[in-house]
Structure 1
Amino acid sequence: MWLLTAVIAACLAMPLRYCLCKPLPAAIRQQWKLRLLGDLIKFVIGLAHVMERLGLGHHVKAARESSKGLEGIAEKLTGKPGAGDLAVSDAVFNSVPVRVYRPLTSAEGHLRRGLLYIHGGGWAYGSAKDGAYDQGCRKMSRDLDMVVVSVDYRLYPESCFPTPFLDCLTAAKHFLSPEVLAEYAVDPQRVAVSGDSAGGNLAAALAQQIAMDDGMRVKFSVQALIYPALQALDFNTPSYQQNRDMVVLNRPVMVQFWLQYLGADLSLKPHFLANRHSSDVAPELKARADWTTLLQPKYCKDYLPVRDEEHRKMQRILDEIPGLLDVRAAPLLAGPEVLAKCPRAYVMTCEYDVLRDDGLMYARRLSDAGVAVAAEHHPDGFHACFSLTTWPFTFDVGVRAFGAYVQWLRDNL
């Protein structure tokens, strides 16, 4: 009941929000709906922190439960999605829980496409069973006549790097085994790995790891990355500066997600925001995430690099948080010899997203390494829009982005 009250209160507060808040970029459509979504997210997170102070558990766990409550309200209003022409089942791939979506229609003796999907949520939220991810995977499976495996990897605060990556790697190796592919009637030459946001991070890291593993008989054919988070060295790229206060995902929240994922002291947040943590990184590694050389001028605009050279005593951060330079956590830092072995790629980015430049830089580096890359940029897009395709938060750009993604997989997998 309190969640329904929160939704109603957020709606009633919208006129006041328009008067008091910084306007959203004019290119973004359906702004009132995006404002409402942002208000709901803030309310859930704020309430979760209050619950934590009252001794009712970690705020991330509380926020997850509240999100499930909101999904329950939506399901009562719209109805729970049925399996229809799909076989949807929960399974365990070598101790890692997954949800499998299989078309029930006859394949007429032909093998199907396969997709390993990894959900986003800042390595702290989300689930293969979540409404948006569940519905998205159902639609992928139907539209592409494809077997989809969605991974339920462990999350913060229960786990941090490298556990989520290792969970996904375990599930990937199990799925790619010839025996399992045969069980699901999947063509070994047509298996993709994909994910959005934090899931895009894990998907990119998996694509690299599997590509370099000479012991794998079957490897991913393509990788499809949706606004992936790929590096934690520079939180002042042009997109981080431009979209620092955007709704849904702003710069401080993304830094918080990275600190949590890497198991770092959260009090370091001001240092990360000022780029003090990367002052002593080797020039060769810095060059792999140097937006001044990797981005087109139209994305750089008039923004300047942020380097805090006055804090040269931050070397301890690199020693205490080795994940900062670990390519399994930061795929953008991989060497050209690794990228050259990666499968062809689809990289989707959104103009109004702090992670825009991570994706653009990765697409550039993959292309420079000789990998075929399709870079899909949405000038009116914002973070999370790919998952916003169903009522009540249906966005035109989300429907368009999802459609472009499905079409690319149809043409390239």
Structure 2
Amino acid sequence: MRALHVLVTVFTAFAAYYVYSPLPSTMSEPWKLMLLDATFRCAQDLSNLAHYFGFTHHLRVLNFISSYFDKLDPVSSRHLKVIDTVFDGVEVRIFEPTKEHGERLKKSVIYIHGGGWALGSAKMRSYDSLCRKISEDVNAVVVAIEYRLVPDVHFPEQLNDALTATKYYLRPEVLAEYSADPSRIAVSGDSAGGNLAAAVCQQLAEDGNIKTKVKLQALIYPVLQVLDFNTPSYQQNMDMPILSRFVMIKFWLDYLNGSQSFAHSLLVNNHTSLDQSETVFVQELLNWNLLLPSSFKKSYQPVIQSKGSPQIVKELPALLDSRASPLIAHKQTLQLLPKTYILTCEHDVLRDDGTMYAIRLENAGIDVTHAHFKDGFHGCMIFATWPTYFSVGAKTRDDYIKWLNDNL
């Protein structure tokens, strides 16, 4: 009995240590978030263990754990037709309203899911639920893109999939098939999907052969740059659920097919040091002292190395590619972009990516709505239904859908 008591005590202490992490008082439902984050970290630890013993790539294990019991078949409802199909070789899930709204043609939202370019699916319960609500509330055809994932493919293949599917949908004959209005189309995505959505919009804007223009882009806590991991939000939220700074760096290296041995160098910004002429223009475009409000900068200081690791840029030239980091696109490209919605969360390493993009777009003359949620955390929008319901998830989702309704 005494041994059992000791065992229970040790297990309880370990569980408390694993679950508990101090969170800001402004965070939405902190204890619920601690439990959710502990679940994610447990899955990550299991996948890393499988990788260590050589069973398979850790991201395959993590994707299996996160989606095996969560993927849904396409299920239509009274007012919504849902099908899985293929657009020019790329899988998509289509949500098509069937209820009459007095409009001859429907709006469209092309949606790209998040997951660090390596996880997630348009068929997961959370994204299926979000896309259903968008489709029903906005009366829009929603095209959810099922792009290929790391480690099967790397940059720029995820972007190529998203761009291919989008271009296919923009064809006049395809729009006509879905009774879609060619003048009311939005491209949207969250997290890594926000990265792909931003890059897709830039590519479309620069392509003179595309006749159908996107009316809106809506980016949800997007990841937009791989060149400064010491912005104020990266410093402030480095160990914050659901996405820590180190995990974000690992996602980037996997996406760009780089060695994980570069992680520490990226962590301290060795890849954009002052002795590298290739990155000089980046320092100007990502000068957050000029781009961020004082309420975000607080007392944080830039981390700029005088001498760094030039071999990283040589081995990973995609670090300086605006298709990977849409935030560093030139002003001439930004001026071509559509009206924009950017959602950011205070307790998110990516807060400043979205904020700097909003400012750069405004400086380029684009109409931008920047919705910032002080109680929000990364990924919160997809946690708006049972069993992972957060009030801030529903609040961010409803704000986003309202903006789509008002502007599309």
For the pair 1:166 / 2:160, whether they are aligned, the reply is yes
**CA distance in structure 2 between the aligned counterparts of 1:90 and 1:409, rounded to whole angstroms:** 24
Distance 1:364 1:96, change over 3 A: same
The question of whether the paired residues in 2 share the 8 Å contact of 1:14 and 1:32 is answered with: no
Q: Out of 334, 338, 353, which is 2:348 matched to?
A: 353
The question of whether the paired residues in 1 share the 8 Å contact of 2:113 and 2:190 is answered with: yes
Match of 2:3 in 1: none
Cα displacement (A) at 1:23 = 1.1
List runs of 5+ in structure 1 lacking aligned partners.
Answer: 1-8
Match of 1:324 in 2: 319
Where 1:71 maps in the other structure, the secondary structure is coil
Q: Out of 299, 302, 316, which is 2:299 matched to?
A: 302
Deviates more, 1:52-61 or 1:286-295: 52-61
For 2:61, give the aligned amino acid: A
Cα displacement (A) at 1:70 = 4.8
For the pair 1:132 / 2:131, whether they are aligned, the reply is no
For 1:286, give the aligned amino acid: Q
Distance 1:260 1:185, change over 3 A: same
Deviates more, 1:347-356 or 1:100-109: 100-109
Q: Out of 260, 268, 271, which is 1:274 matched to?
A: 268
Deviations 1:32-83 (A, max 9, x none): 11011101101111112222334432111111111124537xx9xxx99763
What is the 5 A alignment of 1:80-99?
83-99=77-93
The question of whether the paired residues in 1 share the 8 Å contact of 2:114 and 2:194 is answered with: yes
Distance 1:104 1:37, change over 3 A: same
Deviations 1:366-400 (A, max 9, x none): 00000000000001100000111011110011100
The question of whether the paired residues in 2 share the 8 Å contact of 1:123 and 1:198 is answered with: yes
**CA distance in structure 1 between the aligned counterparts of 2:52 and 2:321, rounded to whole angstroms:** 34
**CA distance in structure 2 between the aligned counterparts of 1:190 and 1:325, rounded to whole angstroms:** 33
Match of 1:394 in 2: 389
TM-score normalised to the size of structure 2?
Answer: 0.93
Match of 1:29 in 2: 28
For the pair 1:338 / 2:333, whether they are aligned, the reply is yes
**CA distance in structure 2 between the aligned counterparts of 1:345 and 1:20, rounded to whole angstroms:** 38
Match of 1:46 in 2: 45
Aligned residues: 396
**CA distance in structure 1 between the aligned counterparts of 2:323 and 2:139, rounded to whole angstroms:** 31
For the pair 1:290 / 2:283, whether they are aligned, the reply is no
Match of 1:5 in 2: none
Distance 1:46 1:282, change over 3 A: closer
Where 2:200 maps in the other structure, the secondary structure is helix
**CA distance in structure 1 between the aligned counterparts of 2:19 and 2:221, rounded to whole angstroms:** 30
Distance 1:124 1:193, change over 3 A: same
The question of whether the paired residues in 2 share the 8 Å contact of 1:14 and 1:36 is answered with: no
- The percentage of aligned residue pairs carrying the same residue is 45
Distance 1:393 1:326, change over 3 A: same
What is the 5 A alignment of 1:177-256?
177-256=171-250
What is the 5 A alignment of 1:15-26?
17=16, 21-26=20-25
What is the 5 A alignment of 1:253-268?
253-268=247-262
The question of whether the paired residues in 1 share the 8 Å contact of 2:169 and 2:175 is answered with: yes
Match of 2:61 in 1: 62
**CA distance in structure 2 between the aligned counterparts of 1:142 and 1:232, rounded to whole angstroms:** 36
Match of 1:4 in 2: none
For 1:324, give the aligned amino acid: L
Where 2:306 maps in the other structure, the secondary structure is coil
**CA distance in structure 1 between the aligned counterparts of 2:143 and 2:62, rounded to whole angstroms:** 26
Cα displacement (A) at 1:107 = 4.8
The question of whether the paired residues in 1 share the 8 Å contact of 2:249 and 2:266 is answered with: yes
Distance 1:162 1:13, change over 3 A: farther
The question of whether the paired residues in 2 share the 8 Å contact of 1:224 and 1:345 is answered with: yes
Distance 1:81 1:92, change over 3 A: closer
**CA distance in structure 2 between the aligned counterparts of 1:384 and 1:81, rounded to whole angstroms:** 25
Where 2:70 maps in the other structure, the secondary structure is helix
The question of whether the paired residues in 2 share the 8 Å contact of 1:201 and 1:330 is answered with: yes
For 1:17, give the aligned amino acid: A
Cα displacement (A) at 1:124 = 0.4
Distance 1:332 1:220, change over 3 A: same
**CA distance in structure 2 between the aligned counterparts of 1:309 and 1:160, rounded to whole angstroms:** 31
List runs of 5+ in structure 2 lacking aligned partners.
Answer: 1-7
Cα displacement (A) at 1:310 = 3.2
**CA distance in structure 1 between the aligned counterparts of 2:337 and 2:263, rounded to whole angstroms:** 33
Two-structure CA RMSD over aligned residues (Å): 2.0
Q: Out of 358, 367, 370, which is 1:372 matched to?
A: 367
The question of whether the paired residues in 1 share the 8 Å contact of 2:20 and 2:34 is answered with: no
